[in-house]
A = this chain, B = another copy of it.
Amino acid sequence: MKITCSKDLLIHAVQIVQKAVATKAQLPILTGIYIAASNNILELQATDYEIGVSCKIEANIDEPGTVVLSGRYFQEVVRKLPGETIEISSSQEDRTIKITSNLAQFNLLCLPAEEFPVLKPLAGETEFKIRDNILKELIKKTVFACASDEARPIFTGGLLEVAGHDVTMVATNTHRLALKKDFIDQFDGSLKMIIPAKILNELARIMVSDVPSDVTISCQRNQIGFSFDNVYIISRVIEGQFPDYNRVIPPNFATTVTINTDEFLDAVERVSLLARDGEYNVIKLSFGNNRILITSNNPDIGKAEESVAASIDGNELDIAFNAKYVTDILKNINSDQLSFALNTPLSPASLKPVDDPNYTYIITPVRTN
């Protein structure tokens, strides 16, 4: 192999694939970045068997070939190189790769390229297109609600559901649930897949195009592939039955409250400062007299309280929540005003932006003495 390419392009490609490089691998080959050169295209790949990422860039290929280099060192070396152009060439004798740029020269030991599990695009049984900005929004508005605890795997991923023009993403840890809907061009058929939160976060990180462009999603048995720009990502999906989320959303509410989102977030964050060390990070909300009084009490540290103006329609009530579950959604509501809908101190409540009927968040209260 012998190629030259732009340093900036190579850094970009390395940043795209790096999160898929295994750090503590049982198989040493998975700690490497696979590099294939042919037809003026340099392709980088990395996989830890959970996620696989490929990124292609333009390059001048003098001699085609494939090599695998330590992901960690290749990345650090490329980032630090002095020039704008990088030359990479393999030497048959000593199984090293020479990387040169201006007067700097690195000879990195290779990993055995024939052992690398090269990614193949899914032969899509099911395939549809979605705008990258829509997919990114579906992810960002829901993925935080996933469980981090691996005890029940289906809750560590987000459910992607597509039927007709509707696309929905839902995530829950059983104590709170986030649901975001949007629309795509007609898709014939239906699809339900649970995608690991880690992969969703990675996708959202990588999709940074300035102008909206299409992502092609293809599915095949227990795998899902995302293709956009010069990037291809393949991931396993989580097997199991996601609960029927429609049954979790209360059909109606006895109390509906409208609040300024930022004022409420600031107050909740302040009052919960003292609650964090408590067992459940609990804040209490008292709805009445067109105000919400937010309080916390930590016997070891002290008490906090603050009130914010609210427009309350319906019964007055006192209710308690895990403060983190409240702040998580408030940080994801972009509209000035939110609607907080409740029934009783022990039944699930709903929080949503007033101007987006397609975004719903359900939160279960905490029982207090």
Contact = CB atoms under 8 A, between A and B. Distances in A.
Interface of A: 70, 73, 76-77, 80-82, 96, 103-109, 266-267, 269-271, 273-274, 300-308
A98 to B, nearest CB: 9
A107 B273 CA distance: 12
A104 B270 contact: yes
Q: How many copies does the complex hold?
A: 2
A301 B105 contact: no
A288 to B, nearest CB: 16
A302 B82 contact: no
10 contacts: A70-B301, A73-B301, A76-B273, A77-B274, A104-B267, A105-B304, A105-B306, A106-B274, A106-B303, A109-B302
Contacts of A270: 77, 80-82, 104
A104 to B, nearest CB: 4
A300 B72 CA distance: 13
10 closest cross-chain pairs (CB), A and B: A108-B302, A104-B306, A107-B303, A106-B304, A107-B302, A80-B270, A109-B302, A105-B305, A76-B273, A103-B306
A217 to B, nearest CB: 38
A65 B76 CA distance: 57
Contacts of A304: 77, 104-107
A81 to B, nearest CB: 7
A70 B273 CA distance: 13
A70 B300 CA distance: 10
A136 to B, nearest CB: 30
| Of listed A108, A302, A304, residue having the most chain B CB within 10 A | A302
Given A73-B301, A77-B304, A104-B305, 10 more contacts: A77-B273, A77-B274, A80-B269, A80-B270, A80-B273, A81-B270, A82-B270, A104-B304, A105-B306, A108-B274
A306 to B, nearest CB: 4
